[in-house]
């Protein structure tokens, strides 16, 4: 099976030119001007952008939650991702406290394997670090899961202490991995949540008010200090605000590198949405949406090279599930749906509005996730020998986001009615046309588990 993509404007993190791409099997075989080859399928990409498939390194599909699950399954979530130009996702395995990493790995892979439409991998969330867990790190890395997530909040369920954090960092560094963190001060948040509840304040806006900027800034700084001390490659997930980014900026002053991910919602939405009574529950997530000045900081941070990745933290819940917190903001399931919207929102709000360049768009949505998480150049770029994960994109098409037309398994949209410029036309995943003209052409099971390489801070990441 061969495919020729003709005359598109090919965009990578560094390039921008018009050319043809010839694909055989799962790989890109050649790229050139007017390639003289025969192919089984020819796609005319004139006047279209052609860029690498997006990688969303922060999603929660079928995540166990209070006896139920986040509403997108591995099938519906990865399919919706493909519709939006994201060909690969990295989900999170959550270790149960008192249980092993291996047990969690088996449980999560049994849910995901043979059920994904798009490609996938996992981060391993370490919620209970002890001598037994330490012995498992090498095995998990050998399985191709080379990043370890930690929580500085959610005491008694997910949070680890600084004592455990330092130990984990030393072992992960030794094994060639990377530590990710949810950086917020859990003790301060727990205090504020209780205080508001004692005062009878139950509306969603108190979710926002119980996680002030300082909780994130303090923890980001503490995490950076521990990473600096241990020398472990470090990555802050869903960074939302000026204070936290300044903690990272300060770390650069002692020649430290901390990778930073933000999520699309923190760039395009703000905390005024919490003022609408219970409707604000649609955007209850942790950390919460912030102020307009924080979004401005994040856009600037992307251009300054401080913010490396734009993900989603996709964790959808049906409205009925959100209603669990009708009378108590702390019981609203955290998360919002965005896996399908990330690329088009970032293009429309970022590139089309002149906030970031096309190359930057590809860098933060495709290339950096592949580099940081050990998949480059197999994934994340359009190059000879890379997987043929390709998006053909109409930069001028206008369309509207709506729950009535999206493909995520959730009954509301966090961006209902938004008019976007730029739309995904065709998506290829490992050489196969998977989306064309708003139709998905593959079934669950097509998505493959991608084994990731060890992190190579000093030789593979060069942006």
Cis check: omega of the bond before 287, within 30 degrees of 0:
yes
CB of 50 to Zn ion, least distance (A): 31
Nearest to 216 by CA among 291, 287, 155: 287
For Zn ion, which is the closer residue by CB, 334 or 381? 334
Distances (CA, A) of 70 to 17, 61, 109, 293, 417: 41, 6, 16, 31, 24
Distances (CA, A) of 154 to 4, 247, 351: 50, 22, 36
CB of 312 to Zn ion, least distance (A): 9
For Zn ion, which is the closer residue by CB, 9 or 123? 123
CB of 301 to Zn ion, least distance (A): 19
For Zn ion, which is the closer residue by CB, 60 or 407? 60
CB of 123 to Zn ion, least distance (A): 9
For Zn ion, which is the closer residue by CB, 62 or 313? 313
- Tracing tokens 């923190």 back to the chain, one arrives at 266
Q: How many residues bind Zn ion (CB under 5 A)?
A: 1
User: Interaction with Zn ion in 304-363: which residues (CB under 5 A)?
Assistant: 313
CB of 60 to Zn ion, least distance (A): 6
CB of 14 to Zn ion, least distance (A): 30
CB of 411 to Zn ion, least distance (A): 21
Instruction: Find out whether 402 and 62 touch, Cβ atoms under 8 Å.
Output: no
Residue nearest to Zn ion as judged by C-beta position: 313
* Phi–psi pair at 145, nearest 5 degrees: -110, 100
Instruction: Find out whether 283 and 322 touch, Cβ atoms under 8 Å.
Output: no
CB of 3 to Zn ion, least distance (A): 35
CB of 244 to Zn ion, least distance (A): 15
For Zn ion, which is the closer residue by CB, 154 or 461? 154
CB of 61 to Zn ion, least distance (A): 11
For Zn ion, which is the closer residue by CB, 202 or 211? 211
CB of 298 to Zn ion, least distance (A): 17
How many residues in total does the chain contain?
463
Written as six digits, the tokens of 423 are: 């739309």
* Phi–psi pair at 311, nearest 5 degrees: -115, -155
For Zn ion, which is the closer residue by CB, 141 or 181? 181
Task: Please say whether the dihedral angle defined by the alpha carbons of residues 395, 396, 402 and 404, taken in this order, is positive or negative.
Answer: negative
User: For the window 275-314, what string marks contact with Zn ion as x by the rule CB under 5 A?
Assistant: --------------------------------------x-
User: Interaction with Zn ion in 209-268: which residues (CB under 5 A)?
Assistant: none
3-state secondary structure of 434: strand
Distances (CA, A) of 23 to 20, 43, 47, 332, 432: 10, 11, 20, 47, 9
For Zn ion, which is the closer residue by CB, 20 or 340? 340
For Zn ion, which is the closer residue by CB, 60 or 423? 60
For Zn ion, which is the closer residue by CB, 68 or 175? 68
Burial class (CB in 10 A: 0-12, 13-18, 19+), 163: exposed
CB of 313 to Zn ion, least distance (A): 4
For Zn ion, which is the closer residue by CB, 338 or 362? 338
SS3 content of the chain, % helix, strand, coil (to 5): 35, 25, 40
For Zn ion, which is the closer residue by CB, 265 or 425? 265
Binding flag, residue 389, Zn ion (CB under 5 A): no
3-state secondary structure of 186: helix
CA distance linking residue 119 with residue 450, whole number of Å: 7
Any idea what DSSP says for residue 398?
E
User: Interaction with Zn ion in 169-198: which residues (CB under 5 A)?
Assistant: none
Give kind and range of the element (H or E) at residue 92: strand 86-94
Pairing of strands 2-11, 16-24: antiparallel
3-state secondary structure of 125: strand
Greatest alpha-carbon pair distance for the chain in Å reads 73
The residues that touch Zn ion, with contacts defined as CB under 5 A, are: 313
């Amino acid at each position: 099976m061969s495919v020729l993509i003709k005359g598109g404007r090919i965009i990578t993190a560094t390039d921008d030119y018009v050319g043809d791409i010839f694909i055989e099997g799962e790989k890109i075989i050649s790229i050139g001007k007017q390639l003289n080859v025969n192919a089984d399928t020819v796609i005319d990409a004139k006047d279209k952008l052609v860029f690498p498939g997006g990688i969303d390194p922060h999603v929660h599909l079928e995540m166990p939650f209070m006896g139920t699950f986040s509403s997108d399954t591995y099938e519906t979530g990865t399919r919706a991702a493909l519709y939006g130009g994201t060909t690969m996702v990295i989900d999170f395995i959550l270790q149960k406290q008192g249980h092993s990493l291996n047990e969690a790995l088996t449980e999560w892979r049994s849910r995901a394997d043979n059920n994904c439409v798009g490609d996938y991998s996992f981060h391993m969330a370490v919620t209970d670090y002890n001598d037994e867990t330490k012995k498992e790190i090498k095995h998990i890395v050998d399985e191709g899961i080379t990043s370890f997530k930690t929580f500085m909040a959610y005491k008694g369920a997910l949070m680890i202490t600084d004592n455990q954090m330092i130990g984990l960092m030393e072992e992960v560094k030794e094994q060639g991995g990377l530590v990710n963190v949810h950086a917020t001060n859990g003790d301060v948040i727990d205090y504020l949540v209780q205080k508001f509840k004692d005062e009878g304040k139950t509306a969603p806006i108190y979710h926002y008010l119980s996680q002030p900027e300082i909780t994130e800034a303090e923890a980001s700084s503490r995490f950076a200090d521990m990473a600096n001390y241990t020398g472990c490659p470090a990555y802050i997930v869903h960074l939302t605000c000026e204070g936290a980014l300044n903690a990272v900026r300060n770390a650069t002053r002692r020649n430290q590198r901390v990778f930073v991910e933000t999520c699309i919602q923190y760039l395009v939405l703000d905390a005024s949405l919490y003022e609408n009574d219970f409707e604000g529950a649609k955007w209850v997530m942790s950390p919460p949406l912030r102020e307009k000045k924080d979004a401005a900081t994040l856009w600037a941070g992307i251009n300054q090279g401080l913010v490396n990745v734009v993900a989603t933290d996709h964790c959808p819940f049906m409205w009925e599930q959100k209603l669990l917190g009708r009378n108590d903001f702390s019981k609203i399931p955290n998360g919002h749906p965005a896996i399908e919207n990330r690329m088009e929102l970032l293009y429309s709000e970022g590139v089309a509005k002149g906030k970031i360049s096309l190359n930057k768009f590809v860098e933060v949505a495709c290339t950096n996730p592949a580099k940081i998480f050990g998949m480059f150049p197999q994934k994340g770029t359009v190059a000879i020998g890379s997987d043929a994960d390709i998006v053909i994109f109409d930069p001028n098409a206008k369309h509207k986001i709506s729950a009535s037309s999206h493909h995520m398994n959730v009954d509301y949209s966090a961006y209902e009615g938004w008019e976007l410029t730029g739309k995904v036309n065709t998506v290829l995943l490992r050489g196969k046309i998977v989306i064309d003209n708003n139709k998905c052409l593959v079934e669950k099971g097509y998505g493959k588990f991608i084994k990731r390489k060890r992190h190579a801070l000093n030789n593979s990441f060069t942006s």
